Amino acid sequence: MNTPEENPATATTESTPTPTQTPEKTSAPVLDAGEEMAKTQTSDLATAPSPEEKPAPQPTTQKSNFTPVDLSNGKPQAPQVHSPAEKLAMEEAAKYGRVDAEGRVFVNDAGVEREVGQYPDEVPAQPFALYVRRFLDLQAQVDLAQARMPGLKANEIDSTLHSLDKALESPMAVGNLEGLRQRVAALRESGQARKEELAQLREEAKAKTLALRTSIVEGAEKIASQDPHRTQWKQSGTRLRELLDQWKESQRKGPHIDRATEDALWKRFSAARTAFDRHRKQYFSNLDAKQAEVKAKKEALIARAKELATSTDWARTSALYRELMNEWKAAGQASRRDDNSLWERFREAQQGFFDARQAANQQADQDEAASLAAKEKAVGAGQSAVTNQEPGYGKGHFPRFVG
């Protein structure tokens, strides 16, 4: 049983009476260990005059639906019930609480009567008011938990139910406490259903994350397995970086998958990226070597073309140049910059020969035309001389030859 000397909350002033002292006349209840819950409301309460004294009214800092407890004269007074909720709870309190001849307040808690406080002197007109208020505080906690339950996380559900269980173990309140516990039990069932729903959602999210990570890895492996001679290295490298960004984004914002699975996927992803880099380096290394070989071949072709540039054996040299062109085409390509420069040099080496050949052909054509003109002139002159010596020549008359 809680008595004034056991409950520190009753030590409001040094003049508070004890069983061994001459008590001052008071009608306030002795506060019990459960007063800690009621203290949360005292900051919202204003003082009111006690039945024995009427001190000047104190200013209130916040409106409250509950009747304040007057502590102005150092003696707690019984609170007055005014709100509809308190009045209804007061009516219900009579079913669950009683006050005996010694001023002790009892509550019928699940069929077991338990003492929750005591009025050591005079029992007030509303002896259950303070204990009803505590009951309403507990009821408000249950109401709040019920309203918030659909949006709570699993750990929040557990902590909320634990707090309610602790508050309803042996509360110093009067009311249907067993009804509140039954409501908490129902909340526990709905909380369990909510946790199962959250667990299912987590598993679904994990499955989606696992599918996304797997698709990222498979995409990287597909890029790494391309034929190096057909690979678009720039586009493929950009795509690999995009896949890495997707992995990081999923890791940062998505649900965590189990460590073993994540490590296995990451090893595959990392291996694919490493293989891609190795293939790219090897490809470009081989390409550099091949282009250097092509460059050397074309340098040799340019040197041979320069050697033939002064030849006047036009037919034979032209055939040789055609052979050089075929070899040039078969040699392949050097780097773009080198290949363009080599081609200009190769054309320049040939150009001298072809310019000389064209000039020689033009001169030959001119000489032939002049020779033909001279011959035509000589033939014309001979015909004219013969016509003047023998009349009738050329008209079917043939000269006679004497043998």
The structure tokens listed for 348 are: 């320049």
β-sheet bridge partners, residue 99: 105
β-sheet bridge partners, residue 114: 107
Looking at residue 240, what is its pLDDT? 95
pLDDT for 191-212, tens place per residue?
Answer: 999 999 999 999 999 999 999 9
pLDDT for 166-175, tens place per residue?
Answer: 999 999 999 9
pLDDT of 115 higher than 90: yes
pLDDT of 161 higher than 90: yes
Q: Is 113 helix (H, G, I), strand (E, B) or coil?
A: strand
Q: At which residue do the structure tokens 């959602």 appear?
A: 201
pLDDT band at 94 (very low <50, low <70, confident <90, very high): confident
pLDDT band at 121 (very low <50, low <70, confident <90, very high): confident
Lowest mean pLDDT among 56-65, 112-121, 291-300, 382-391: 56-65
Does 387 or 119 have the greater pLDDT score? 119
Q: Crossing angle, helix 177-224 and helix 259-308, to 10 degrees?
A: 20
pLDDT band at 391 (very low <50, low <70, confident <90, very high): low
Rounded CA separation 276/237 (Å)? 8
Lowest mean pLDDT among 14-28, 69-83, 207-221, 320-334: 14-28
pLDDT for 15-28, tens place per residue?
Answer: 333 333 333 333 33
- Secondary structure (DSSP) of 322-363: HHHHHHHHHH----HHHHHHHHHHHHHHHHHHHHHHHHHHHH
Rounded CA separation 389/313 (Å)? 50
Integer CA distances (angstroms), 239 to 197, 226, 339, 375, in order:
37, 13, 30, 80
**Arithmetic mean of pLDDT, 272-288:** 93
The structure tokens listed for 392 are: 């009738």
pLDDT band at 165 (very low <50, low <70, confident <90, very high): very high
For the chain, what is the mean pLDDT?
77
**pTM for the whole structure:** 0.53
Rounded CA separation 32/287 (Å)? 91
Looking at residue 169, what is its pLDDT? 92
Q: Are 99 and 127 within 8 A, CB to CB?
A: yes
Looking at residue 144, what is its pLDDT? 96
Residue 96's CB: how many other CB atoms inside 10 A?
22
Lowest mean pLDDT among 31-35, 104-108, 332-336: 31-35
Q: Crossing angle, helix 129-148 and helix 35-42, to 10 degrees?
A: 80
Looking at residue 91, what is its pLDDT? 80
